[in-house]
Amino acid sequence: MPNSDSPSSSQDESGDLTCSVCDQPAKGKHFGAIACRACAAFYRRADACKTNVKACKKGGNCQSLVNNNGWFDCKYCRLQKCYQVGMNTTNFQFDRDPISTKFKGSEVPKSMECFLGRPHCVIFVKPEKVQVKKDLIDCNDLMKKATKIFVEGCETPLHGKTNLLKLAEALQNLEKAHNSGPVKLVTKYGKEEVLSFFEQDFLKATAWFNYYNEFTELETETKLEMMQAMWHVWSRLYKLATAANGKRRKVCEDQLLLISHESEYTVMDLTKIEFDYSWCTKYSNEQMQHFIDNTENSFLYKLVNYMVDLKPSDAELSFMICQACFHYAGQRFNGKIAEICEKFEKKLADELHDFYVDEWRMPNYSGRLSLMLRINNWIKEDIWKCRQKQEIAELFDVYCIEYSHPEIFKDI
């Protein structure tokens, strides 16, 4: 076969190789060039359907072809780079792995997990035979606290001209409160920490939405129903922005930065922290990785660098949070709430336009808006993946707890 090494030689040399396309660690030769598996898979798909690869918006002159994580922002330029380093489909290396030399069928057989549609830890469990005694997590007191926030109104009167500017000012107040406090390193993440973070995030999101005028005019039951759906979307984006801010300020590097208590930053070192799931499941931490991915390699943590590059203003971040929350709630509910969310989204889009034009004197803001919505879409994709995992967990009684208000935890 032309321009390819033998299987043994490529495997021996793969230890210190660097991908010639994205500069990430490589695993040997692919299509005639030293490349990582991600770039090899991309080239195989892209070369087979070139018509689906849109032309570069900058005429093939992207200044930042690849970011620090090996993620490309332009498929066209990535494909051109593959060609430049000598990748060619005629250099495909057959029978490279031992399994491929033994199996000569028309397709690779499915794994048990793929065939049954279950993670490994529940492959041999029949739903009708599973009987797990569950402890109740009572959220009634939390609902009373949220209702009190709605009844009492905003904690601090704000005077922004629009909802967007009021919400931005509310974010500033949150940031000032935490900047004045110490930084705490969490070494264990168990029941106490999980429930504490959950309650704080829920109540902070509730208080923050209290600054949206039209939202406060809704009936209390409607607001509580929407908050049960939106709080975790709020939490994802707020923590993502906080982690990016901490990385820019060098409060943390490759750690996840969370918020805890009224005036305290909380930092988790994901390579050292001890996760304790024994209070909510009988499965081991390793088995629970299918349902709860808290490692530094998980999808959401990879978005931090995108948020660092974007560096959104408080008004932009407020728009991102509201757009993601209202769009998600609109899809989750039908009828009245879906109509309300659609109206809120439109109003916020108009206010963001006025902010760019009047405050920033930036009539051409499509590039920033595109990146903001791209980050939001990635978060929404992750939420729907979580939904699928939680449906499997519920079907096979993976958790030994239940909540008085299960709608709060549907997609976390």
- Rounded average pLDDT per 10-residue block, the chain, 412 residues: 40 64 82 86 77 67 57 77 83 51 52 65 60 85 96 85 94 72 78 90 94 95 95 92 80 56 66 87 86 70 86 96 96 91 96 96 94 93 87 87 91 79
Residue 101 pLDDT:
43
Residue 167 pLDDT:
96
Residue 126 pLDDT:
59
Q: Which residues pair with 30 in a beta bridge?
A: 33
Structure tokens at 245: 């801010």
Cβ within 8 Å of residue 74, ≥6 positions away: 56, 57, 58, 62, 65
Calpha distance 66→51 (Å, rounded): 22
- Domain 28-85's class? alpha beta
Look up residue 25 and give its DSSP letter.
Answer: B
Ordered alpha helix ranges (H), 186-289: 191-209, 213-216, 220-248, 285-288
* Stretch (H or E) spanning 259: strand 256-260
The distance from CA 176 to its chain's CA centroid, rounded to whole angstroms, is 25
Residue 87 pLDDT:
86
Residue 220 pLDDT:
95
Look up residue 358 and give its DSSP letter.
Answer: I
Q: Please, are residues 216 and 210 in contact by the beta-carbon 8 Å criterion?
A: yes
Residue 99 pLDDT:
41
Calpha distance 218→195 (Å, rounded): 28
Helix, strand, coil proportions of the chain in percent (round to 5)?
55, 10, 35
Look at the chain and count its residues: 412
Q: Please, are residues 79 and 46 in contact by the beta-carbon 8 Å criterion?
A: yes
The backbone torsions φ and ψ at residue 221, rounded to the nearest 5 degrees and listed phi first, read -60, -40
Q: Please, are residues 163 and 349 in contact by the beta-carbon 8 Å criterion?
A: no
Residue 163 pLDDT:
95
Calpha distance 330→317 (Å, rounded): 20
Q: Please, are residues 290 and 140 in contact by the beta-carbon 8 Å criterion?
A: no
Q: Please, are residues 351 and 162 in contact by the beta-carbon 8 Å criterion?
A: yes
Give the angle 35-38-40 at the CA atoms, nearest 5°.
Answer: 50
Q: Please, are residues 218 and 230 in contact by the beta-carbon 8 Å criterion?
A: no
User: The domain at 135-408 falls in which architecture?
Assistant: Orthogonal Bundle (1.10)
Question: Do the domains 28-85 and 135-408 sit in the same CATH topology, yes or no?
Answer: no
Domains of the chain, residue spans: 28-85, 135-408
